[in-house]
Structure 1
């Protein structure tokens, strides 16, 4: 799922390699999640980067923290 341009210029982004390291899953798993739209990305140049702010919001909404 590609997200539109960030609303703020300081949108936290992360490479799929770093995301895989931090979550303890393989890069192929992360790539699959991206391809299926489970993880929001935005393209910078050629490469999709994980949009951590949108992912955070998605997680909070899914868990109904309110």
Structure 2
């Protein structure tokens, strides 16, 4: 039996503008996805961050379907 390890991001959240840069999409596109709740996010203080842990879980769940 092979055990598959899940590697989580080193930081559980990322500022949405930096996330846009890392995935190669314009910031306006990511902002729209956050506003429409297509990407999981968390608000810390006045800032909105992409929840990378939840996004990873969503991707793994979709891949397993």
Q: Which runs of 4+ in 1 moved over 2 A?
A: none
**1:37 matched residue in structure 2:** 37
Comparing both chains, which one has the higher relative contact order based on Cα–Cα distances under 8 Å and sequence gaps of 6 or more? Answer: 1
TM (norm. structure 1) is: 0.77
Q: How many residue pairs are counted as aligned between the two chains? A: 56
Alpha-carbon RMSD across the aligned residues, in angstroms, is 1.7
1:1-66 aligned within 5 A: 12-64=12-64
Taking the aligned partners of 1:63 and 1:27, their CA distance within structure 2 comes to 26
Q: In structure 2, list runs of 5 or more residues that go unmatched.
A: 1-9
Q: In structure 1, list runs of 5 or more residues that go unmatched.
A: 1-9
Higher Rg of the two aligned structures: 2
